[in-house]
Amino acid sequence: MDIEDSIESKKSRTKILFIDDEVKFKVVKILQAAGWIHTQLIKDVKSLDQIEVKESKIIFVDIQGVGKELDFKEEGLGLASALKEKYPHKKIIIYSAEQKGDRFHKALRQVDDSISKDADPYQFQSLVEDHA
């Protein structure tokens, strides 16, 4: 009962941000429907101080196609590292369609977690529960 209450209360107050150039990525809708009502998606980050970033506790970063506005050489990986450096208390999770390779491993040391883009909703939800 206590654990459930705790998760329910986390759902109502945890802000989750997806940074993904694919605006129709439905996992946002799925998480909202599961009760993580403060989940939103932005295409890219214009400033590390922008409000969506500042407010969010958990930030999912696609490793491809983002990080361009801030000119990161390694795109999403660069952005994820920069976010973790600036906000060490936030949970930064990288996700991607890339199979695990060297690049992925380097960034893994810096961020909090990683997940494959084609993970099912249960996996996304588990990850969010772990880090909320």
> CB of 69: closest distance to another protein in angstroms?
11
Under a CB-based contact definition with an 8 Å cutoff, are residues 19 and 59 in contact?
yes
Which of 108, 21, 32 lies closest to 62, judged by CA? Answer: 21
Check binding of 122 to another protein (CB under 8 A): yes
Select the span of 9-17, 20-28, 51-59, 102-110 touching another protein (CB under 8 A): 20-28
CA dist., res. 76 & res. 44, Å (int): 9
Binding mask 53-92 for another protein (x = CB under 8 A): ----------------------------------------
Q: How many residues bind another protein (CB under 8 A)?
A: 18
Q: Which two tokens stand for residue 66?
A: 């983002």
CA dist., res. 45 & res. 68, Å (int): 8
Please select the residue that binds another protein; options are 8, 13, 23, 33, rule is CB under 8 A: 33
Which residues, in sequence order, are bridge partners of residue 38? none
Please select the residue that binds another protein; options are 7, 25, 72, 129, rule is CB under 8 A: 25
CA dist., res. 79 & res. 63, Å (int): 8
Instruction: List residues binding another protein (CB under 8 A).
Output: 22, 25-27, 29-30, 33-34, 97-99, 116-122
